[in-house]
């Protein structure tokens, strides 16, 4: 393969990656976390959820995205991201989505009369 063509492919892939990241930042600036969270669940602090929402919006307004590698978490400006940052971005987004999905399951359990702390629905 031609090195020039390979470089162009990598540059195009990086641009698609950055475009997706910028789109997610715009959604976070508009409060996508608040929409995803909904109302506090039993045992959750409304003030803590509000703080999380505001912090997420603030980070997005600053152009910062989370990078995660195992237990290590750091933030990087979207303009400084490299194509090599993708795995750490994917891990961060996967962790975020898993947490949100877990909350949705607990919310459904509460609506069905279950105890989210025990992981069971009452019959």
- Tell me the pLDDT tens digit for each residue of 27-50: 999 999 999 998 899 999 999 999
Residue 121: per-residue pLDDT: 44
Residues of the chain with pLDDT under 70: 1-5, 114-123
DSSP per-residue letters across the chain = --HHHHHHHHHHHHHHHHHHHHHHHHHHHTTHHHHHH-SPPTT--HHHHHHHHHHHHHHHHTTEEEEEETTEEEEEEGGG--GGGHHHHHHHHHHHHHHHHHHHHHHHHHHTT-BTTTTB---
Q: In this predicted structure, what is the pLDDT of residue 2?
A: 63
Helices (H) and strands (E) in the chain, counts: 4, 2
CA 23, CA 34: separation in Å to the nearest integer?
17
Nearest CA to 55 out of 73, 33, 74, 38 is that of 33
pTM for this predicted structure: 0.79
pLDDT at 79: 94
Q: What is the pLDDT of residue 122?
A: 43
* Per-residue pLDDT at 80: 95
Angle at 117 between CA 114 and CA 122, to 5 degrees: 20
Looking at residue 123, what is its pLDDT? Answer: 39
């Amino acid at each position: 393969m031609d090195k020039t063509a390979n470089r162009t492919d990598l540059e195009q892939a990086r641009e698609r990656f950055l475009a997706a990241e910028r789109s997610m930042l715009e959604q976070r600036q508009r409060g996508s976390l608040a929409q995803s969270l909904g109302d506090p669940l039993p045992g959750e602090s409304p003030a803590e959820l509000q703080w999380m929402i505001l912090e997420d919006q603030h980070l997005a307004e600053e152009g910062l995205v989370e990078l995660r590698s195992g237990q290590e978490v750091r933030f990087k400006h979207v303009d400084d991201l490299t194509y090599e940052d993708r795995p750490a971005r994917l891990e961060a987004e996967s962790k975020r989505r898993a947490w949100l999905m877990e909350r949705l399951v607990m919310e459904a359990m509460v609506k069905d009369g279950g105890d989210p702390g025990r992981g069971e629905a009452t019959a």
